[in-house]
Amino acid sequence: MNEMKVGDIVTAIYKTGKYVGEVTEIRPQHYLVRVLAVVKHPMQGDLHNPKEADVLFFHERRALAYREQTNVPKQMVKPFTEETPDYTTSLRASLEKMKQELKEAGTPWAEQSLKNITSLEKDYF
């Protein structure tokens, strides 16, 4: 596994989202990563019952905010060599991609997820 350094630009998977960020601190099992862009928006609903609509509480999951820092397990961090996308543009693109996938799925979970995404879009933009 490549050891990252402070200042490296990386992709980081956090819960069900994927982000481009900057390593700001190295910890024994994690990297502290400052979010710079969104590659994949987090899935909606219950993480313990993925893609199920009939759950006790259907969670609305927000993307991590611009420059928000989070601990990411080292194995979930990889080097990023492309130009870092703009946060707002990348967030909008990740939401559009997710909405398209949800519309194609057409399941009760997808329908509930689309409602959450619509609500999140109002907050984000």
CB 35 within 8 A of CB 65: yes
HSE-CB for 85 with a 13 A CA cutoff: 15
pTM for the full model?
0.93
Give pLDDT tens digits for 59-93: 999 999 999 999 999 999 999 999 999 999 999 99
pLDDT at residue number 56: 83
Regions in the chain scoring below 50 on pLDDT: none
The pLDDT, as a whole number, for residue 55 is 86
Whole-number pLDDT of residue 20: 98
Plot region of 61 (φ>0 → left; ψ -120 to 50 → alpha; else → beta): beta
Tokens of 45: 């609903």
CB atoms within 10 A of CB 47: 12
Whether 94 and 29 have beta carbons less than 8 Å apart is answered as no
pLDDT for residue 1: 54
